[in-house]
Structure 1
Amino acid sequence: MKQTKIFLDGIMHVGDVITASSVIAVLKEHYPNSEIHYLVKDSLALPASMICGVDRVIPYTYQSGEGALDVLRIGRNLAKEGYDLGISLDPRERVTLMKWFARIPIRLSMERALGWELGWEKWLYTEDLSYKTPWDYKNHRMGESYQRLMRDYFGDESQEFIPPALVPSASKDLAAADALLAGCSARGPKVLFCVETTAKAKDWRSEKFAALGDWLVERYDASLIMTGIDSHRPKLDAIKSRMKHPESIIDTLGKTTFPALVALMRRADCAITLDTGTTHIAAAAGCPVLTIFTFNSPEIYQGCAEKTWAVSGHVPCSGKHVCIWPKNCPKNLCEESVTLSMVQDAVMEMLESL
C-alpha cells in the first residue's frame, strides 16, 4: 500500500496547536499508512513533537510582516518532500503560499472550523472545507469542530470524538516530576495550578486564588502545585502572602522542561488553570482540568478531553463572538463575575469524579 504523505500547518499558540491536531486521528483512520508532518512556530516544535500521530515537526521562525523570501524558500524545500495532501489548520497568507509553491496536489483549508471565511487565499486551495452535516461551532469545543470538519470531508458519519493526546512520558521526566513532589506530605489530592497568563484580561485576582488554595487545604488536605515561568513569581508571591497555609504550596515555577511539566500533570490528581495553553496541555496529558474563563467562550475553548470543566460568569457582553475585547473595555466584569463559590462548586464536582 502506497504511503500517504500529509503536511499540516498551524502557526498558532500551543493550546491551538494541540486542539487543532484532533484532525490527525481522522487522517490516521482514513490513511492508515500515512506519514504526518506538522509545521509550527519554532518555539512550539517540542510540544508539537509530543502529539500522538505526528511523525515529524517542521519548525518555522515566524516574523510578522517579514520573511517573504523564506516563504518561497520553504515552499520549494517542501516540494522536494512529495506531499500528497496539505491541510491548513489556520490558513494565513504565508502557509497558503508555501503549499502553493510546494505544488501539493490537494490543498485543504479549515478556516471554517471556527466560523471564519477566507479572502483571496481561497483561490490557492483545491477546497475550502465546510460542514456537510448540521453543526454549530459555537456550541462545540475547538477540537471537536476541527474533527467534524475533517470527518465531513471524508463523508465519515461517525459521531465519535477522539481527543488529541500527548505521547507517554519518559521515565526521566516522570523521575523529575517525582523529585519536585518529594516534599509533598499531604494525604489529599495533588492539585496543579496555573495562576497567570500573558493576557492580563484572563486573570483571576491573587486574593481569590489564595482563598481557593486555603479552602482546598482545609477541606481536602490538598497539596498545591504551582506551575509557570519565572516571570509569574510576583503573582505567586502575592498569593502566598494572602494565604493561611502557604506551606502547602509546591513551587515549580521555572523548574520544569515541557516534557517534565507533562509528567508533573500526570502525577497530579487534577489541575485548575486560567484560560491558557496549560488547559490544553493538561487535557492532552490526561489530567482532569478545570478552566477559569473571563471573556472567552468556554463552549469553544474548554479542554478537549473527557474530564474537563469550565467556570464562566457568562457576562452578556463577553464571549468570542460579541466581546469588544478587553483592551477596548474599561470594565472588569468578566473577571469579577467569576466568584470563589462558583469555582469551589466546580472543583468539588471535579474531585468527586476522580
Structure 2
Amino acid sequence: MMNNRYDKILIMNYLAIGDLVFSTPLIRVLKENYPQAEIHMSIWDKTANVIKSSPYIDKFIYFSKEGPPRSLDRYKGYFKYIKKIRKEKYDLVIGLQDNKNIALFSWLSGAKKRIGFARKKREKFYTDYFSPERQMHNVDYYLQVAEILNLNTNLDKGLEVCINKTQKRFANQFLLKHKSGHGDNKLIGLNVGARFEVKCWPIQKFVELGNKLVDELGVNIIFFGGPKEEEKIETINKYIKNDKKMINAVGETSILELAALLERCDLLVTNDTGPMHISVGIGTPVVALFGPSDHEVFGPYGKEHKVIQKQELDCVPCGNHTARNHECDKNHECMKDITVKEVLRAIEERL
C-alpha cells in the first residue's frame, strides 16, 4: 500500500496520440489511490484533444516549442514554461517520456518526489526512476510508476478515451446522413492511414477487403484517415464496387469525433497508428496490421484484439518505423505480404 500522500501531481508526456492513450490506466490508478489529489498533465498542445475530456485530470499545462532549435525564442519559451510549473508547487512530478527536457523540467519543478525514465544519466534528475529497456507494452512501462509508489494496481488497466454528448450527437448525425448505423448490418471501420507510410497496408488491399466485406458479409464500411489520405480515398472511390455501403470519413472529423464514430463501429481494421489506440480506448475491437513495429510494445492493449504480423520474416520487427523515407532491403514485405484472406478471417472470427 502507499506510504505517502500527494495533493498535487504533475504528469509530463509530450508524445503522440497513442502514447497519451497509453497513459490513461496510470492516470486512473493515481486518481483512485489519491482521490483528494489535484492531477495536472503537461502535454504537447498539438495532441491535447485526445485526452482533454478525461475526468481524472483537473488541469492541462500545454507545452509548445517556440522558435527554431537553440534560438533565443526557444529558450525564452522554456523559461516561461519552467516558471509556470514551479508556480504550481507540485508534490509529485512524473515524466512519462524518455526525454532530456522532461528530466530537466522535472528537476527544476521544485517537487520533492520526481519519477521518470533512467537512461543516458537522466536518473540524476529524479528521486526515483525505472528503466525503459524492459520488454513490455508501453502501458505496463507507465504502470511501473504505480509500483514505485506502492499503489494498488489490481484495478482495471484498460485504455480509456472519453467523449461527450456533443461528439456522440455528431456521430449519430453523420451516420444518419449516410443512412448507416441504425440497421441490422454491421459497421466495420477501415483506417487506411498512418503517420509513417512504412506502417501502411497497401491501399489496393484495403479496397479488395472492402469489396469482400460488402459482397460476402453484407456489412457497411466506413473509411477513416487524416487529410493526407485523400489521395488514397480517390483510389477507393474508383475501385470500390458498392459505394452505397461505403462511408467516407477521411479528413471529416476531429480526434474526439473520430472516437465517437469508432464507438459506433462493430470492429476496426487498422494500421499501427493513433486511431487504433483510440478504438481500444473507446471499447471497439481491433484487427491491427503490423509491419516494422513491435506489437508487444506498441500493439492494441488487451486480449480481445487481434494483431496480424509476418513474424516469420527474419527482419520483423525491424523497429525502423519512424523514418519518413525508410529504405527497405525487402521492399516492405512485412506489410505487403499480409493477405486479404487472413484479415477477412480475423474479422469473421470477431463478428
Q: For residues 244-264 of structure 1, give each alpha carbon's deviation from its aligned partner in whole angstroms, at most 9, with x where no partner exists.
A: 223321112222222221111
Aligned to 2:225: 228
Q: For residues 101-139 of structure 1, give each alpha carbon's deviation from its aligned partner in whole angstroms, at most 9, with x where no partner exists.
A: 221111101x3xxxxx511322111111259xxxx953x
SS in 1 for 2:51: helix
The answer (yes or no) to whether the contact 2:292–2:320 under 8 Å persists in 1 is: no
TM-score, normalisation: structure 2: 0.88
TM-score, normalisation: structure 1: 0.87
Structure 2, unaligned runs of 5 or more: none
Structure 1 residue 189 displacement after superposition: 0.9
Q: For residues 281-311 of structure 1, give each alpha carbon's deviation from its aligned partner in whole angstroms, at most 9, with x where no partner exists.
A: 1111111112111111112212224532211
1:345 to 1:25, Cα distance in 2 relative to 1, 3 A:
same
Aligned to 2:41: 38
Q: For residues 299-348 of structure 1, give each alpha carbon's deviation from its aligned partner in whole angstroms, at most 9, with x where no partner exists.
A: 22122245322111112212156989771423222112312122112112
- Which of the residues 319, 323, 337 maps onto 2:317? 319
The answer (yes or no) to whether the contact 2:119–2:131 under 8 Å persists in 1 is: no
1:296 to 1:2, Cα distance in 2 relative to 1, 3 A:
closer
Matches within 5 A, 1:1-354: 4-62=7-65, 65-66=69-70, 67-109=74-116, 111=117, 117-130=118-131, 137-138=134-135, 140-147=136-143, 149-156=144-151, 158=153, 162-167=157-162, 169-182=163-176, 183-184=178-179, 187-305=184-302, 307-314=304-311, 315-319=313-317, 327-331=326-330, 332-351=332-351
Structure 1 residue 47 displacement after superposition: 1.5
1:80 to 1:323, Cα distance in 2 relative to 1, 3 A:
closer
The answer (yes or no) to whether the contact 2:20–2:51 under 8 Å persists in 1 is: yes
Kindly tell me the number of residue pairs found equivalent between the two proteins.
338
The 2-side partners of 1:91 and 1:234 are apart by 35
The answer (yes or no) to whether the contact 1:265–1:282 under 8 Å persists in 2 is: yes
Structure 1 residue 171 displacement after superposition: 2.3
Q: For residues 133-182 of structure 1, give each alpha carbon's deviation from its aligned partner in whole angstroms, at most 9, with x where no partner exists.
A: xxx953x43213322x1232134575555112122x32222221112111
1:157 to 1:178, Cα distance in 2 relative to 1, 3 A:
closer
SS in 2 for 1:22: helix
The 2-side partners of 1:321 and 1:2 are apart by 40
Amino acid of the residue matched to residue 246 of structure 1? Answer: D
Aligned-residue identity in percent: 23
